[in-house]
Amino acid sequence: MTGNGYVLKVGGTVFPNALIAKGGYSNTPNRRQDKNSYTDARGETHRNILPVKRTTSKIKTMPLTYGQKLIVQAFFPNRDHVTAIRWNDEDNSYETGECYIPDVEYVVDHIDSDGNFHYQPVEIEFIAYGE
């Protein structure tokens, strides 16, 4: 078993797998952060890796109806502070952390004959503040 059947949970609610596109979850786990690292005149790199690492995760949805878009948006009512449980592929476990979500672009694919909006897939990125 690799997980509990989900890649993202926010506020105790699992993000619906049915809305995730095939290949629609990716993560860059435990990103190292440098401070004042440099390459010297001989070409040797000197790194000062900070102890705090951060994971970045992305979810790409299927094409969405307006109602499905509202379900997706309910997972991040405040994009500046989201407490998320996400699958971390480097640790092969779930991690809980505070994240923020940068701007999300919504593209209306078409409006049907009843006036309903239909959206192209949406990509949502979760960036940890530090873990």
3-state secondary structure 50-71: CCCCEEEEEEEECCEEHHHHHH
Query: To the nearest whole number, what is the mean pLDDT of the chain?
Result: 91
* pLDDT digits 0-9 by tens, 45-95: 988 887 777 888 999 999 999 999 999 999 999 999 999 999 999 889 999
Q: Where are the domains positioned within the chain?
A: 8-128
Question: Rounded to whole angstroms, how far apart are CA atoms 45 and 47?
Answer: 6
Question: Tokens for 11?
Answer: 């506020």
